[in-house]
Amino acid sequence: MAEAIEGHGGELALAAARAFGVNEMFTLSGGHVFPLYDAAHKIGFPIYDVRHEQTAVFAAEAVAKLQRRPGLAVLTAGPGVTNGISGLTSAFFNASPVLVLGGRAPQFRWGSGSLQEFDHVPLVAPITKYAGTVTDTDAIPGEVRAALTAALTAHRGPAFLDLPLEIVFSTGEAAAPGEPAVPVLEADPDEVSRAATLLASAERPVIIAGSDVWGGDAIAELRAAAEALQVPVFTNGMGRGALPPSHPLAFAKARRPALNEADVVCVIGTPLDFRLGFGEFGAAQVVHIVDAPSQRASHVETAVSPAGDLRRILTALAEHSGDRADHAEWIQGLRTAEDAGKARDAEAMAAETDLIKPARIYGELRKVLAPDAVTIGDGGDFVSYAGRYLEPAQPGTWLDPGPYGCLGTGMGYAMGARVTYPDRQICVLMGDGAAGFSLMDAESLVRQGLPVVMVVGNNGIWGLEKHPMQAMYGYDVAADLQPGLRYDDVVKALGGAGETVEKAAEIGPALERAFAAGVPYLVNVLTDPGDAYPRSSNLA
């Protein structure tokens, strides 16, 4: 071998992952994966450890989402891997390039009943782009490379490999990892040109841009296309902030009139799922631009659905040279609706009520958040309000759980965000119910010197379940939590800091203290349990 790497399985795996820009691992200890720790330890490669494996996978996912490069979680055999399943599934729904390296009971006595012996691969195959067991130490780097290439190939997503005990502890040799080579898919140019013509000639076009625009590094191209064709832009997921809120084509509040009146709706880089009314936009023609053919909607009749590299598609839209209709009046009308919506929001965010309304918390938060702050939503109604009232000033600063809707992302996403941005504000917005899933990992943040601010909207209930159940049945069960519970004391007991706030006027000063603290700090805001986020059901 001309250029070769040698070492134990952990060293070979880490060398291959580092070639793809992996800069840290998130993990919870287990003997099956010691060689991966040994490899990291020897070269000073950062290891962040947690109190529950789902936090490790969520942290890796946050790194993948924010940095658009692979995030790595190392999970021990059996229960370590199964505890990571919700994180893997979230990464699958979010197209996040996460690599999970799992330990695995020894191959040579498989079936004899080793500790934590379990075949993970069939379990994770449906929620990964690549899943396998490495059966030869020399094959580890090649397998890691194949897994990461699959994870980074649009449509992106997680990959999984498990390494049997004797394979990862043995020494091997392999070719040195070369530069990553990720295939780029070219969309059908005819379909792209039909999409451009539809948008340009529409009377009342709308663009909705989602996470894959960010994940595909196509934010600048989106903006160029919107400006060239003069089309109003709405966003969701990681697409939020793609256009700065002050941009003449950036809209958030006028979604209803926009979608009711549009004649062409162009959805880019996000599925036509419940968040978008399943793609039913009245009489409008639907253009669905996706990053891979697998992402085309099968439940909606689209006018055209170009599938391929989003940067190239959006560049082609920007360069469209055909006739175009004048959209000025349409944009002006939406701007009026947008301004009215903003005025209503401003009023809600200033609400001076005895029992604090969640809207007021966001009114206060907006005053202290820097434009590059990363905000993370983990909860029910409290996070729906966050989506409504927080306007990310730039892309790549808003983390929500995505369409899988998994509670418990909070501390993991916070850890990944803090590791990504040592100097930015990192703020987790948690329902009190959601807090229960991951709050123990505030300890991991404290111990490893990773300060974040947690704001709990503490209504004492599983609000997003209690209110709908009341509406449906006239009663509710399994929807109450302890009112006024001191989640701040939990974080204090874990070595961090915090306080409880009961009056609206106290929110602002508490947030100031939290961001200045330099340790994990929980602001526990007691909110009105009678307040319900206005929504139609998400269930059907």
Ligand X SMILES: Cc1ncc(C[n+]2csc(CCOP(=O)(O)OP(=O)(O)O)c2C)c(N)n1
Whichever of 328 and 478 has its CB closer to ligand X, that residue is 478
Task: Work out how close the CB of 454 gets to Mg ion at its nearest, in angstroms, rounded to a whole number.
Answer: 14
Say how many residues touch Mg ion, by CB under 5 A.
Answer: 5
Structure tokens, 48: 């962040």
Query: In the set 400, 432, 441, 488, which binds ligand X (CB under 6 A)?
Result: 432
Between CA 49 and CA 51, with CA 50 as vertex, the angle to 5 degrees is 145
Site string for ligand X, 471-510 (x = CB under 6 A): ----------------------------------------
The answer, yes or no, to whether the previous bond of 155 is cis (omega within 30 of 0) is yes
Whichever of 302 and 459 has its CB closer to Mg ion, that residue is 459
Structure tokens, 181: 């080579």
Query: In the set 234, 382, 389, 487, which binds ligand X (CB under 6 A)?
Result: 382
What are the Cα distances from residue 100, in Å, to 29, 73, 127, 132, 263? 14, 5, 12, 11, 44
- Binding to ligand X (CB under 6 A) within 83-142 occurs at none
| E strand or H helix at 211 | helix 211-215
Question: What DSSP line would sit under 40-73, residue for residue?
Answer: HHHHT--EEE-SSHHHHHHHHHHHHHHHSS-EEE
Say how many residues touch ligand X, by CB under 6 A.
Answer: 19
Which of 89, 129, 96 shows the shortest CA–CA distance to 408?
89
- Binding to Mg ion (CB under 5 A) within 420-439 occurs at 431-433
Return the one option of ligand X, Mg ion, none that residue 10 interacts with (CB less than 5 to 8 A, by type): none
Return the one option of ligand X, Mg ion, none that residue 137 interacts with (CB less than 5 to 8 A, by type): none
Return the one option of ligand X, Mg ion, none that residue 381 interacts with (CB less than 5 to 8 A, by type): ligand X
Query: In the set 431, 451, 498, 520, which binds ligand X (CB under 6 A)?
Result: 431
Q: Are 311 and 221 in contact (CB under 8 A)?
A: yes
Structure tokens, 42: 């020897």
Which of 287, 37, 60 shows the shortest CA–CA distance to 159?
60
| 387 binds ligand X, rule: CB under 6 A | no
d(CA 297, CA 292): 11
d(CA 198, CA 201): 5
Q: Which stretch binds Mg ion (CB under 5 A): 136-144, 311-319, 345-353, 455-463?
A: 455-463
- Binding to ligand X (CB under 6 A) within 438-477 occurs at 457, 459, 461-465
d(CA 159, CA 507): 42
Task: Work out how close the CB of 401 gets to ligand X at its nearest, in angstroms, rounded to a whole number.
Answer: 8
Whichever of 215 and 463 has its CB closer to Mg ion, that residue is 463
Query: In the set 379, 387, 410, 496, which binds ligand X (CB under 6 A)?
Result: 379
Q: Which residue is nearest to Mg ion (CB)?
A: 431
| 377 binds ligand X, rule: CB under 6 A | no
Residue 475 makes CB contacts below 8 A (sequence gap 6+) with: 469
| 463 binds Mg ion, rule: CB under 5 A | yes
Whichever of 80 and 463 has its CB closer to ligand X, that residue is 463
Query: In the set 211, 384, 459, 524, which binds Mg ion (CB under 5 A)?
Result: 459
Q: Are 395 and 214 in contact (CB under 8 A)?
A: yes
Nearest-10 crossing angle of helices 219-229, 189-201:
50
Which of 35, 39, 79 shows the shortest CA–CA distance to 56?
79
Whichever of 232 and 433 has its CB closer to Mg ion, that residue is 433
d(CA 85, CA 94): 14
- Binding to ligand X (CB under 6 A) within 34-53 occurs at none
| 177 binds ligand X, rule: CB under 6 A | no
Which of 480, 489, 474 shows the shortest CA–CA distance to 459?
480
Return the one option of ligand X, Mg ion, none that residue 454 interacts with (CB less than 5 to 8 A, by type): none
Return the one option of ligand X, Mg ion, none that residue 363 interacts with (CB less than 5 to 8 A, by type): none
Q: Which residues bind ligand X (CB under 6 A)?
A: 379-382, 405-408, 431-434, 457, 459, 461-465
Q: Which residues bind Mg ion (CB under 5 A)?
A: 431-433, 459, 463
